[in-house]
Amino acid sequence: MIISRVMTKNPVYVHPGASITETRALMDREKVAHLPVLDYNSMLAGIVTKQDLFKASPSEATSLDMYEISYLLSKMKVQEIMVKKVITVAENEVVEEAARIMADKNIGCLPVMRGTLLVGIITDTDLFRVFVNAFGARHAGVRITLSMGEYPGEIARISGAIAAKGGNIVSLVTTEGDDVAHRRCTIKVEGPSRSELEAALKDIASVVVEDIRE
């Protein structure tokens, strides 16, 4: 899947000169936790998150009263707290690469670029949505997790057995198995009953059903 299909397009943004108070209000209003920062030439200058705003706020142990805190935050600008060395991703990159970057760098979002133009943003929430869709979580049916041999044609044999029972595969995801000779496969199937699918998969010698549920 390509990032441009799952990203938030035309994201809300702020300018470097926006105050912390304005930025916090914008995040609350738009229900977002990350804001790209664009300069007045519409070039990406940084990114600011709710965590950055939290770090910039006085500690709860401060002796300042609420009016003094509000005044200080209204004077502090985004450019003082934003991350300036921003990691970005191209709009035609694949989703799993964005997920890898975010996991490796321990970050919650990536601005999405078309050349030097900001066209979107992809966040951990967007990736969770991809995860939900990939596993068919919104579809009724039987969910099967199985271990299969790392052989050519294994998925064809499994899908053929399911099709023979009138099953419609709505999702199929494979991951690393317990060893190099196996892969783990999770399938969501509409149509046949749990018992019918169990019986069909028992006939494939290289397949072990680890979990099956409706």
Q: How many domains is the chain built from?
A: 2
Distances (CA, A) of 74 to 20, 23, 81, 148, 192: 6, 10, 13, 59, 61
Say yes or no: 24 and 125 in one domain.
yes
**pTM of the entire structure?**
0.79
20 shares a domain with 114: yes
Q: Which domain holds residue 192?
A: 135-213
Residue-wise pLDDT tens digits, 159-214:
999 999 999 999 999 999 999 999 999 999 999 999 999 999 988 888 999 999 99
pLDDT at 61 over 50: no
Name the domain boundary from 87, 115, 131.
Answer: 131
**Pair (117, 167) in one structural domain:** no
- 140 shares its domain with 116: no
Do 110 and 168 fall within a single domain? no
Contact 84, 108 (CB under 8 A): no
Does 9 lie in the same domain as 107? yes
* Residue pLDDT, tens place only, 108-153: 999 999 999 999 999 999 999 999 999 999 999 999 999 999 989 9
Question: Among 99, 131, 163, which residue terminates a domain?
Answer: 131
Length of the chain: 214
> Measuring CA to CA, which residue among 15, 1, 16 is closest to residue 127?
1
Beta bridge partners of 187: 144, 172
